[in-house]
Structure 1
Amino acid sequence: MTVKREAWLTYLALVPVVAGVIIASGGEPSFHLFGFIMCVGATAARALKSVLQGILLSSEGEKLNSMNLLLYMAPIAVVLLLPATIIMEDNVVGITIALAREDVKIIWYLLFNSSLAYFVNLTNFLVTKHTSALTLQVLGNAKGAVAVVISILIFKNPVSVTGMLGYAITVIGVILYSEAKKRSK
């Protein structure tokens, strides 16, 4: 979309990232084809969003910074996600109110979670502005591998040897991508 070309070494470094994700997905103990297709679609949508963010943040005509972009995107996200939450989550408002009556800490948890989401989005915009949408996507794959490791350590989620191999290849690919970007500068 931006007609920006990367060095051939950068594209070569993306091969293990993609291959690692594919291997890890295939080695998932609870793999389901529909879920995999939805993940691929979500990844493509996230990539499109990152590219559009990069265009808006780097465009000379728009003069948007990360805070302004977040200010414009947050209300749209609320308008889209709030009805979906109310429809898909049975009695979510009633349950939240009941939990808040039982323990006021739930309000603090929700505020803390909202603050983290704000900072994650702001950080994503800053990474996109100062690097590229491609770098943000590669970091997203690294974040996924780290999340799996944490879920194994904390929640004892099962993972196959194939899945572990796939995540290791993904991390190696992220490191190779980082090195390729350094060399291309």
Structure 2
Amino acid sequence: MKGTSQWFTIGLVSAWYTSNIGVLLLNKYLLSNYGFKYPIFLTMCHMTACSLLSYVAIVWMKAVPLQMVRSRVQFTKISALSLVFCTSVVSGNVSLRYLPVSFNQAIGSTTPFFTAVFAYLMTAKREAWLTYLTLVPVVTGVIIASGGEPSFHLFGFIICVGATAARALKSVLQGILLTSDGEKLNSMNLLLYMAPIAVVFLLPATLLMEENVVGITIALARKDTKIIWYLLFNSALAYLVNLTNFLVTKHTSALTLQVLGNAKGAVAVVISILIFRNPVSVTGMLGYSLTVIGVVLYSEAKKRTK
């Protein structure tokens, strides 16, 4: 039984890695290489899939118990989280139009830095000095990587930093807003409510900022039906990322997930370079390596101070 459990966990981690890296690479391919330049519409497709598949998994298949929204105040809090979540995902997708996946992942590794900053500003929560010290190589590594990045794009860099900050803000806000026992939701139920709200936010943004995107997609599909399959598969992968994230956390621990996430970033960098053949420099790789080392030290420092 123990051996079966270990293989099950390995399978979950593999599925989590595959879905995470897969959706990232497919986003890059669609938005940059394929020429489908509609990141807001792409994000709306992701959120629509997450809405439908979350409903099927929780309400029909009973994968996890359904947790109800208990008050208008709780709904307002979930809506606020959804808005920040939308901002992070859309910004991340926009940045992929301008930056290679390797550099995108390097910037994304600074999430602990922004999390620590927002936690201090919003809750006055202070970490141990050793924890703050480990953030120095995290930020320094990205600065070095930026200077040595052959495909550096200022707008893409700013948007990617914004996406990383929004991701950290969502994490801190979730801890602040949904803290009482009556308001806590597991990640699957939170996605069930956040995803359709995200669609409501994204629909007008798509219509205003990506005019006639539906008509353009239909016209593109008549020339190349693969775009429909790309969008469907990409959207299903986006849901699988959230599902496997929940399952890996459930069967391991949040700390294990964080460690695996650090390694996933490095794997994504290597695979993206092999697939897209984007130019890399020794300086850039040294900078990214320093950032990864900093994140690992940060995780270790957090574990010791608990």
TM-score of the pair, normalised by structure 2: 0.48
Among 271, 277, 300, which residue is 1:179 paired with? Answer: 300
CA contact 1:66–1:126 (8 Å) conserved in 2: no
Q: Matches of 1:96 and 1:168 in 2, distance apart?
A: 39
Q: Give the SS at the match of 2:298.
A: helix
CA contact 1:24–1:166 (8 Å) conserved in 2: yes
Among 215, 218, 243, which residue is 1:97 paired with? Answer: 218
Q: Give the SS at the match of 2:123.
A: coil
CA contact 2:141–2:287 (8 Å) conserved in 1: yes
Among 135, 142, 153, which residue is 2:274 paired with? Answer: 153
- Look up the match of 1:52: 173
How far is the alpha carbon of 1:124 from its aligned partner? Answer: 6.1
CA contact 2:137–2:294 (8 Å) conserved in 1: yes
CA contact 2:188–2:242 (8 Å) conserved in 1: no
CA pair 106-10 structure 1, distance change in 2 beyond 3 A = same
CA contact 1:66–1:125 (8 Å) conserved in 2: yes
CA pair 119-7 structure 1, distance change in 2 beyond 3 A = farther
Q: Which amino acid aligns with 1:172?
A: I
In the alignment, is residue 116 of structure 1 matched against residue 211 of structure 2? no
Q: Matches of 1:92 and 1:112 in 2, distance apart?
A: 19
CA pair 36-49 structure 1, distance change in 2 beyond 3 A = same
CA pair 150-83 structure 1, distance change in 2 beyond 3 A = farther
CA pair 121-81 structure 1, distance change in 2 beyond 3 A = farther
- Look up the match of 2:206: 85
- Comparing both chains, which one has the higher relative contact order based on Cα–Cα distances under 8 Å and sequence gaps of 6 or more? 1
In the alignment, is residue 6 of structure 1 matched against residue 95 of structure 2? no
How far is the alpha carbon of 1:156 from its aligned partner? Answer: 0.4
Q: Give the SS at the match of 1:77.
A: helix
CA pair 99-122 structure 1, distance change in 2 beyond 3 A = same
Larger displacement relative to structure 2 (34-43 or 8-17): 34-43
Q: Matches of 2:125 and 2:151 in 1, distance apart?
A: 38
CA contact 2:151–2:279 (8 Å) conserved in 1: no
| Aligned sequence identity (%) | 86
Among 180, 193, 211, which residue is 1:72 paired with? Answer: 193
What residue ranges of structure 2 are gaps of 5+ in the alignment?
Answer: 1-121
CA contact 1:57–1:66 (8 Å) conserved in 2: no
Q: Matches of 2:247 and 2:125 in 1, distance apart?
A: 19
Q: Give the SS at the match of 2:273.
A: helix
In the alignment, is residue 165 of structure 1 matched against residue 286 of structure 2? yes
CA contact 1:29–1:159 (8 Å) conserved in 2: yes
Q: Which amino acid aligns with 1:157?
A: N
Larger displacement relative to structure 2 (117-126 or 168-177): 117-126
Q: Matches of 2:177 and 2:211 in 1, distance apart?
A: 37
In the alignment, is residue 32 of structure 1 matched against residue 164 of structure 2? no
